[in-house]
Structure 1
């Protein structure tokens, strides 16, 4: 898929996404595109990793899922 931000997305860092102090997944984003890779989960993420799935949904609906540009890590909740 062609996208004007494709090059910057590929160059963006991948950061850890912590839930209760443990790494639950990896996050990468640039502009409007965010990619999350959930550990130990298949296509039914809410059933496989309910706590991590709920945390992701909470942060996404609150607009707190993206990384800060200055620090390259997740914005605080």
Structure 2
């Protein structure tokens, strides 16, 4: 017959392991949801221009704006 303390410890460890696993899974799910929300927010801010409008970054460079990297003329 098994020692009751060993049986209790085994059950306790299994329960603790199950709870820890559930918490990790819930944390991962929450983190994934937060990442999705963050991506939506970032996409919303970067595409603030109406379709067809050029953003300032898309404007053609004028001569003298910046110097080209070495080797490119």
- Pick the structure with greater CA Rg: 2
Identify whether the pair has TM-score above 0.5, normalized to the shorter chain.
Answer: no
TM-score (norm 2): 0.21
Q: Highest relative contact order (Cα 8 Å, sep 6+), 1 or 2?
A: 1
Which is helix-richer, 1 or 2? 2
